Amino acid sequence: MSHEPRRRGNSMAETPYWDEKPLEALTPAEWESLCDGCGRCCLVKLEDEDTGRIYFTEIACRLLDVTTCRCSDYAHRRRKVRDCLKLTPDLATSLAWLPPTCAYRLRAEGRRLAWWHPLVSGSPETVHEAGISVRGRVSLTETDLKIDDYAGHIVSWPGKSPRGARARPVPGTAAKSAPGKSTRKAPGRPQIQESR
């Protein structure tokens, strides 16, 4: 991990790459390290075809390990789950359904990572301890139900930040507005969002 010193007052303080570099400038390893392991993006999402509103469900992608909150086959996920998206800097600025706690979204909006993020805390457990992750909140996967039953499992918590979990703007950057929408619709029923 590279850190570049930045002068603050009379002392030198290091600015971590995740606060300093724009998303487009991150190395592949730095990009992957931004994922906090919460699993919220791996929840099935539904779209109201009349309003375009996105709803989170308490239903996990079949590849999500609900204990670790990580993909059980990350390297092959896009082959096994056709709707799984490869998140890019462009998508991080345009996907409205990214959770408000998502590090990619926070950085795209010019905000710092929260205290519980593993890069900040130094521990992969703080994302769970802070109540950010899906651990203990999800017991169903998409293979447990018929798609017509998904709407009965809509929940609001994945689209909210728990109290005390919010991130602050990075000094010297203007906070950007929330990402716009990028969705896919199917006639006749709510649509599962393309990414989990």
What pLDDT, on a 0 to 100 scale, did the predictor assign at position 10? Answer: 43
The rounded distance, in Å, linking the Cα atoms of 193 and 47 is 7
| 112 has pLDDT over 60 | yes
Backbone torsions φ then ψ of 107, nearest 5 degrees: -70, -35
- Judged by average pLDDT, the poorest of 41-45, 142-146, 168-172 is 168-172
Average pLDDT over the chain, rounded to whole?
Answer: 82
pTM: 0.76
pLDDT of residue 90: 93
What pLDDT digit, counting tens, does each position of 119-163 carry?
999 999 999 999 999 999 998 999 999 999 999 999 999 998 887
- What are φ and ψ of residue 60, in 5° steps? -95, 155
Task: Kindly list the distances between the CA atom of residue 169 and the CA atoms of 109, 111, 120, 172, 177, in Å, as whole numbers in the listed order.
Answer: 8, 4, 15, 9, 12
Q: What is the pLDDT of residues 77-90, one digit of tens each?
A: 999 998 899 999 99
Confidence of residue 68 (pLDDT cuts 50, 70, 90): very high
Residue 191: both structure tokens together:
């649509």
Q: How many CB atoms lie within 10 A of CB 158?
A: 23
Q: How many CB atoms lie under 10 A from the CB of residue 31?
A: 19
Q: How far is residue 181's CA from residue 194's CA, in Å, rounded to a whole number?
A: 12
Contacts 24+ apart (CB under 8 A), 48-53: 48/190, 49/185, 49/186, 49/187, 49/189, 49/190, 49/191, 52/181, 52/183
pLDDT of residue 77: 94
Collapsed DSSP state (helix, strand, coil) of residue 184:
coil
Q: Each residue of 40-66: b (16+ CB within 10 Å) or e? A: bbbbbbbbeeeeeebbbbbbbbbbbeb
Tokens standing for 169? 């703007």
Gap between the Cα atoms of 74 and 76, Å rounded: 6
Please report which confidence band the pLDDT of residue 92 belongs to, taking 50, 70 and 90 as the band edges.
Answer: very high
